[in-house]
Amino acid sequence: MAALVDTTNQPLLKPWSLTDLPLLKTSQLPITQTQGTSTDASTIIVGDFTKLIIGVRQGIRIELLKERYAENLQYAFVAHMRADIAVQQPKAFLKIIGVR
């Protein structure tokens, strides 16, 4: 959203209804979706994330990998966790597709 500009190339202000909402960035959503003739579209997910439920089936497990990187005197970690999500109120979330 920060890159949006008007017809005179001036940055657009955040709508007043969104001023108190935090904007979180992720690299987990692709920027190569096809929407119409565009092949460089993406998706925005907007919602009241207090209505999102996270169920943890197995706590996080972190393992140290010493042997694989020993020749370089390095260590690595592997983390594993089983969890799922659900929404309390589906209308609390909105998916906007075709964003460029």
Full-prediction pTM beyond 0.75? no
Residues 78-91 have a mean pLDDT of 94
The tokens for 92 are: 């609390």
The tokens for 68 are: 């694989």
Residues 51-63 have a mean pLDDT of 92
Largest CA distance in the chain: 58
Q: CA 33 → CA 3, 46, 96, 97, 99, distances in Å?
A: 19, 18, 12, 9, 9
Other C-beta atoms closer than 10 Å to the C-beta of 78 total 10
**Is the per-residue pLDDT at 3 higher than 80?**
no
Q: What do you get for the CA distance between the two ends of the chain, in Å?
A: 10
